[in-house]
Structure 1
Amino acid sequence: YSPPFPPDTIQKAKKLNKKYLMPLSLYPHYSKATTGSNIHYLQKAIDKNYPKLQMIPAPAYYLHNGYIQAFADRINETVNKGEALNDFYLLFSAHGLPLYFLKEGDPYPFQITQTVSKILARLNRTQNWTLSYQSAVGPLQWLKPDTEAMLRALARRGITKILVVPVSFVGDHIETIHEIDIEYREVAEEIGITDLRMSKAIECHPGFIHALADTVEQVLIPSGVHCERSGEEASSLTIKEGVK
């Protein structure tokens, strides 16, 4: 969508005479539609421009303690002094995925539920929460429940205070600051939800930054870079809790 594109990166690696390329995805969860697709295009660029370059993708890090803590902190920061987090219904909103990916064994929805479970455990939260999916486009069937539909369902139950957690996003962009914080806010006002909030993106939270660094370091060994797998197979692996 924007430069530098894969061929540009590969050409730079070639000029520097690098032997290895380690892509670190800003998609915390693995899906063939996201990280898998990016790895595919990188490999095509390698094959065309610098075939001797070995690609060793960093694994998914959706269970890393630093990543989980970043979300827990952002959620707590959304609650003002004098308020309690338990006053709010937690709605975890993840980017959707066409259902046909699931038929091919895509792990994305399972990984999302694992992240949510870890965040809830960190918050010591066992009730008044749910997971939904957003950003579906086109005629295909996508993961459900849909976030807007879930907001309407919660409003029918008389729930008026909702904190939306953009759980699959690490930075703010059109799908958070516009889709959630503008479009869904307009829906909320129409259906009687009086207090709809969105937790801030984790962005530069120290825990998240540590998770990224730790994810890379766990693939390295003292003598250099090493991984028995490469390409999509390696990128679909998972860094578990990591170093606290």
Structure 2
Amino acid sequence: MSKRATKGVLLVQLGTPDAPTTADVRRYLTQFLMDGRVLDIPYMGRTLLVKGVIVPKRAAQSAATYQTIWDEVNGSPLMYYSVLQRQMLQEELGEEYHVELAMRYQNPSIESALEKLQSMFLDSIRVIPLFPQYASATSGSIMEKVMEIMRTWSYIPQISFVSSYCEDPGMVDTFVDHALRHDIGAHDHILFSYHGLPVRQLGKVDPTGKLICPDSGCDSCKAQTNAFCYLSQCYGTTRAIAEKLALKEDQYTVCFQSRLGKTPWIQPYTSDTLHDLASKGVKKLLVFSPAFVSDCIETIDEIQVEYANEFKELGGEVVTMVESLNDDPKWIQALKRLALGN
């Protein structure tokens, strides 16, 4: 007789369209960009911008891009690896635990995953956003949604959140292992390219409003100001990986991709960094993207296609992508420790 699960674990990723069609991408982009933590402007302005400008302009183009990375058998790479991570973590944790997977936007929804967990009358639920670095627009949005749903429950089990794990040894070691699959010394320079955020969102992590964050360069502020600053956590991840690989500071650059609109985003931008490195004669780049635990459109297309082509047009020759954590057993062991609170 199997043992009843008494503890739940909810893994939550950002999300992916259900299919690489314009209609599905339109629904995904609308839900994503209408989140007030993602596009942090007043509701009416956000509605006009998202539904009147951004989504109509980008839906078809984004759908075409998704079609290039969509696998005929496995579908969305992000979904494929997320499902594997859930399955492998479930095997590691055993019968005492029940692991669910949800997407913040689209399917499977957080609502549907929590409904399954609620019906099991668990003693506890641990929520793990699948983002190593905390940001209000990612992990914060997930936590808010979970609390919004669970506050309506008649019974509320013990609930805990993993807010960040930007320097987790298992996560770092997995990225290091993946980098060592490549000949690091054969590359002229290394990029750590993170997903970008509007600069205005950095200071909002300080409830007193006294923290004024620069748009670049706070590479040592974590211990001095705010441990929840996304920018400082990105630098923390970079330092942890660089130390393991014995990289010198002049061997790598931290940069940020995926900016939207004209408002200032965290700098330096990845595109600007490519121009700068190409102008200095750099020919071969090795690129980490440690904001993502699964390969997805940002790593497969944006870096390996868009930025690679841009770099070659500037005179560069090679852009080598370090694989994300994906279904690496060492990463699953790190997830297990996060789930257990170790």
State whether TM-score is above 0.5. yes
| Aligned with 2:259 (options 136, 160, 167) | 136
Q: Do 1:95 and 1:168's aligned partners in 2 also have CA atoms closer than 8 Å?
A: yes
- Asked if 2 retains the 8 angstrom alpha-carbon contact of 1:93 and 1:131, the reply is yes
**Structure 1 segment 53-202 matched on structure 2, within 5 A:** 53-79=157-183, 84-85=184-185, 87-105=187-205, 106-126=228-248, 127-202=250-325
Among candidates 45, 53, 58, match of residue 149 of structure 2: 45
Q: How much does 1:50 deviate?
A: 4.7
State the secondary structure of the residue aligned to 2:130: coil
Consecutive unaligned residues of structure 2, counting only runs of 5 or more, are: 1-104, 206-227
CA distance in 1, matches of 2:192, 2:159: 33
How many angstroms does 1:59 deviate by? 4.0
Name the stretch that deviates more: 204-213 or 147-156: 204-213
Distance 1:172 1:32 in 2: 22
Q: Tell me: CA distance 1:50–1:37, structure 2 relative to 1, closer, same or farther (3 Å).
A: farther
2:285 aligns to what SS in structure 1? strand
Partner SS for 1:180: helix
Q: Which residue of 1 aligns with 2:126?
A: 22
Does 2:331 correspond to 1:214?
Answer: no
The CA distance in 2 between the partners of 1:159 and 1:57, in whole Å, is 42
TM-score when scaled to structure 1?
A: 0.83
Percent sequence identity over aligned pairs = 28
Instruction: Mark the CA change 1:87 to 1:183 in structure 2 (over 3 Å): closer, same or farther.
Output: closer
Higher RCO by CA contacts (8 Å cutoff, separation 6 or greater): 1
Secondary structure at the residue paired with 1:94?
strand
Q: TM-score, normalised by structure 2?
A: 0.60
Deviation readout 1:156-199 (Å, 9 max, x if unpaired): 11111111111211111110101001101110111000111111
In the TM superposition, 1:7-18 aligns within 5 A as 7-18=111-122
CA RMSD of aligned residues (A): 1.6
Matched, 1:34 2:138: yes
Shift >3 Å, 4+ stretches: none
Separation of aligned partners in 2, 1:150 and 1:87: 16
| Deviation per residue, 1:71-129 (Å, 9 max, x gap) | 111112122xxxx5264300110000111111113511111101100111100111321
In structure 2, what residue type is equivalent to 1:40?
E
- Determine if contact 2:187/2:286 at 8 Å carries over to the other structure: no
Give the letter for the 2:338 counterpart.
T
Alpha-carbon separation, structure 1, partners of 2:297 and 2:147: 28
The 3 A distance-change label for structure 1 pair 51 and 199 is: same
d(CA) in 1 for partners of 2:255, 2:159: 34
